[in-house]
A and B are shown apart, each in its own frame.
Chain A
Amino acid sequence: MLGLAAAAARTTNLIVLVLTALVVIVVATACRIHGPLGRSVILFTKIAIGVVIFRLVLQAIFGLRLGERVLFRLPALTLPEFMAGITVGGPVTLESMMAGLNQGVRLGVILICFGAVNSVSSPARLLRSLPGVLYEMGVASTIALTTAPQAVMSASQIAEARRLRGRPTRGAAGLRGIAIPVLEGALDRSIRLAAALDTRGYGRTRDDVAPNRQRTASVALIGGLIMLSIGVYGVFDTAAPVGLAIGGLTAGAVACGASVIVGHRTHRRTRHRPIRWDRRATLVAFSGAGALAASILTEAIEPGALDPSTFPLVAPTLPIIMAAGLALALAPLFVAPRFDDIEPDDARAAGLDIAESAATLSVSSGGDVR
């Protein structure tokens, strides 16, 4: 998925982008996990469509006036001298709108990719895969992640309860009356959860480990993570030197690895059924890598194919290598778990979701064709 996001970030070719979104949504809905998080790809798709529309509106109002093919005219308003005399509104050209559309869709597709990541894994599963050094931090952040939806739920419960007592639920008084019990409830819940964690041995200490060792591990880990992010930046930015990407990634990986090895001995804990990294998982994780590789290859062979010009306007083409890369990204569909272990009710719901996302997609791509 992240590979696909990287591939999407490297292109403004509309055909490639829409195909990428399609692949991501189909794969994510097929491999998604149970529960509300599994729907996040749908949520992110909706947000992405909103982003595209917002980007187009901005482009129409503030965009540069390039090209001759005028679509329509907005009432023009030239700002006074002290505001640099920029003209707002005026003729809106096809060329400028296409440029805006391309950029908007690119951002949207990246968003969809992140939604898809949430759909196919859950915070709790990520927590189980964390190295021992990060364990405490991981549990804390998982709990933090679960408090937000709980707070929303208890807010609506309290609004209801206030109604039962004939109190206002709107306005300043209503807000105060709801906010305080929500916070009290959240505090209560976290204390109960903390008690449950404690009685079940969470955070047991080992006396025989030097605290220094633990500190070294943490420092190495944080340094490694920073270097990894620099490396990732290199991958995403086509203008950055290749050395930055490779160097950052390598140094980050080495530092993180070292920290895990050092930290391993400070935390005595065992794993029940560690998530096995099987062929299927590799395929799902690396399905996007094919697309990314194809994107880099296309860039090398057909420069400009991924960045079609909008001034003068040319129709985007689908580079054959890119198409092959995207087809590769569909591979998890054939190996990922099916609905066989879900209850019939859920399966039906999932089916509806797929239909729903297909409908959303056809609407959005229909809009794009014009």
Chain B
Amino acid sequence: MTILELDNVTVTYEGSDRPALANVSLRIEEGEWLLVSAPTGAGKSTLLGLCNGLVPHFTGGNMSGTVTVAGRSTEQCPPRNLADVVGWVGQDPASGFVTDAVEDELAFVMEELATPPATMRRRIEETLDLMGIAELRNRPLSTLSGGEAQRVAIASVLCASPKVLLLDEPTSALDPAGADDVLAALGRLVHDVGLTVIMSEHRLERVIHLVDRIALIDRGQVTASMPDEALAIAPHVPPVIELGRLAGWSPLPRSVRDARRVAAPLISRLADAATPPAGPPPHTNDSPRYPVRASRSPAASGHIAVTGISLAHGRRTVVERVSFEVGGGGGGGGGGEVLALMGRNGAGKTTILRAVAGLTTPSAGRLRIGNLDPAAIDGPTRIRSIGFVPQDPTLLLYSSTVAEECRAADRDGGLDAGTTASVLEELAADGTIDANRHPRDLSAGQQLQVALAVVLAPAPTALLLDEPTRGLDHGVKDRLASLLRHRATNHGVAILLATHDVEFAATVADRVVLLGHREVTAAGPAAEVLSQSTVFAPQVARILSPLPVLTVAAIRRTLGRIETNRS
């Protein structure tokens, strides 16, 4: 039975000359799990919003065609009158909380729908168990971690027992374990309750083996097809598929489990090769399209030294006596490295980054960037010695258009006109970010790209990036990775990044520091730390365990070497 139908829908936002989505026709059956995948800013959120009337009731813009959910047209029904059939969870679940305790949050929608108290109690109990959050029931919402907040947000719309669940990037803010929890809960809902789930997600590798169909959006056109067909035309595929294609496996495995079954010959072939491939690829010396200036700041070297720092959040100790270093050459020379700081949500990654950026003072220990205390660096010197992209990139953007933002960044850094714009062009695929739009009107991923460009343009000698891949599609991520590698290898920039994205860390990091309960639990070369971890191992490492390989590119190089040796 069709639960949701889009019939020839076209959406054009105000001030835009081309439609965000054009002539979309899509039928979704009851009990289906549909994945929406598309480049940053291509209209994923618009497609989801159409399904419950948020577009156009809330966003404005022109819409033609009809959307029918469980027999009701969104034209007549605003989102509030669809609350009993469609549940929607936005990109930042915490911003949608309306009460202050978990149980009240779950009850809210049922109170609005005038559910009898007895039913309410039963549904709350069931939903708490279904999402595995029974132990959170009395917790204030402000104390929840990212993964917990996401599960509570899903539970709070599930209580209305909707027929369709819409999720906008439900795992982008979560650590690998938290993301698995959320996906497992969704799997239970689809299989046991028969719920229809429509979700958007950039990290295909996490969900590809779970979903029934994939909808790809390309220039406003939506095509929904079975996973195998979708993968054949998708611009980027998860590492497991890429590895399968490289190794010539047929049928193509979609999950790590399937791949492991057929991986034995490849493992022995790679193990036979004299030196196992490791780490990030040696950097290709392609010169960038803009000039990277030699640093003139007093902190001539961006070398980051963290010695035994302790940090507290209010009365709670976050980390204790943490030490690590990130190598930086500076002065335009090479020798910089990329260090990835990983750990579960709330492990203290952001707190450490903020301290290194000089925004907070540690209660003990010493911080140095080059030979300076980061807290003492200010003004124009700061932007050339420390580049920091916070988790919420909108904080860095204040101008009324993207173009103006780029010009302002050029002025701040005393850069040649157009430098920032060309960095942005290098990151974003040409023309995907309209320079005349207000930064706040961009999608979350596009905002991040603008913030990255603003910070990267003055060529700081030390770069601190907090979750630099949130909401970015694979294309942008690849370009960011090669840009960061280039900066580290050729310009001696010390790069410290905090990330949950294991595949990105595997591509870009030289070394990895894992944070556990208030302390460093593992530190060392990326290949070693990541391939030994059960939680933070990338797909390739999981498939080829125990070999310390992280990326398909590394395997391709090794196989190439084997071939040359043989001939």
Residue with the highest number of chain A CB atoms closer than 10 Å, among B100, B388, B440: B100
Known contacts A204-B113, A268-B114, A272-B117: does B58 contact A177 (CB below 8 Å)? no
Contact for A165 among B78, B99, B412, CB less than 8 A: B412
**Chain B proximity mask over A178-219: 1 for CB below 8 Å, otherwise 0:** 001100110011011111111111111100000000000000
**Secondary structure of the A contact surface, majority rule:** helix
Residues of B near A272 (CB, < 8 A) are 103-104, 107, 110-111, 117, 120-121, 124
| A199/B79 in contact, CB under 8 A | yes
Q: Is the CB of A201 within 8 A of B84?
A: yes
Whether B111 contacts A270 by the Cβ 8 Å rule is: yes
User: Digit string of B38-77 for contact with A (CB within 8 Å is 1, else 0)?
Assistant: 0000000000000010100110000000000000000000
A270-B120, A345-B315 known; A181+B83 contact, CB < 8 A: no
Please indicate the chain A residues that have their CB under 8 angstroms from the CB of B310 in the complex: none
Q: Are A164 and B112 in contact (CB under 8 A)?
A: no
Q: Are A198 and B315 in contact (CB under 8 A)?
A: no
A to B CB contacts below 8 Å, 5 in the list: A124-B100, A195-B90, A196-B95, A200-B109, A273-B103
In whole angstroms, how far apart are the Cα atoms of A87 and B81 in the complex?
70
Cβ of B382 within 8 Å of any chain A Cβ, yes or no, is yes
Q: Interface size on B (CB < 8 Å)?
A: 68
B80 close to A204 (CB less than 8 A): yes
Q: Kindly list chain B residues whose C-beta atoms are within 8 Å of the C-beta of A268.
A: 114
Q: Is A160 an interface residue (CB 8 A)?
A: yes
Cβ of B371 within 8 Å of any chain A Cβ, yes or no, is: no
Q: Is A302 an interface residue (CB 8 A)?
A: no
Which one, B78, B140, B380, B382, contacts A35 given CB within 8 A? B140
Given known pairs A161-B390, A181-B395, A272-B104, the reply for A201 and B92 (CB within 8 Å) is no
> How close is A102's CB to chain B, nearest CB, in angstroms?
38
Whether B378 contacts A166 by the Cβ 8 Å rule is yes
Q: Are A189 and B95 in contact (CB under 8 A)?
A: yes
Q: A271: CB under 8 A from chain B?
A: yes
**Chain B at the A interface: mostly helix, strand, loop or mixed?**
helix
Shortest CB–CB separation between residue B415 and chain A, in angstroms?
12
Q: A268-B114, A270-B120 are in contact. Are A200 and B396 (CB under 8 A)?
A: no
Do B104 and A200 touch (CB < 8 A)?
no
- The 9 tightest CB contacts between A and B, nearest first, are A196-B96, A201-B83, A272-B107, A201-B112, A161-B395, A166-B383, A200-B109, A199-B88, A268-B114
Whether, in the assembled complex, B398 has its beta carbon less than 8 Å from a beta carbon of chain A, the answer is yes
Across-interface contacts of A198 in B (CB, < 8 A) = 54, 57-58, 78-80
Binding site for B on A (CB under 8 A): 34-35, 122, 124, 128, 139, 143, 157-158, 160-161, 163-167, 177, 180-181, 184-185, 188-189, 191-205, 268-273, 341, 345, 348-349
**Does B398 contact A345, Cβ atoms closer than 8 Å?**
no
Write the nearest CB–CB distance from A272 to chain B, whole angstroms: 3
Residues of B within 8 A of A199 (CB): 52, 54, 79-80, 82-83, 86-88, 157
Q: A164-B455, A195-B90 are in contact. List 16 more A-B contacts (CB 8 A).
A: A34-B140, A128-B104, A161-B396, A164-B357, A164-B386, A166-B381, A180-B398, A181-B398, A192-B95, A196-B96, A198-B58, A199-B79, A200-B98, A271-B111, A272-B124, A345-B315
Task: Please indicate the chain B residues that have their CB under 8 angstroms from the CB of A349 in the complex.
Answer: 315
Cβ–Cβ contact A270 & B390, under 8 A: no
- Complex alpha-carbon distance, A131 and B96, angstroms: 24
Which residue numbers of B lie inside 8 Å of A, CB to CB? 52, 54, 57-58, 78-84, 86-88, 90, 92, 95-100, 103-104, 107-117, 120-121, 124, 138, 140, 142, 156-157, 160, 315-316, 357, 359, 378-383, 386, 388, 390, 392, 394-396, 398, 409, 412-413, 440, 454-455
Among B95, B113, B382, contact of A201 (Cβ-Cβ < 8 Å)? B113
Nearest residue in B to A162 (C-beta to C-beta)?
B398
Q: Given the known A-B contacts A35-B142, A161-B395, A341-B138, are A200 and B440 also in contact in the complex, defined by CB atoms under 8 Å?
A: no
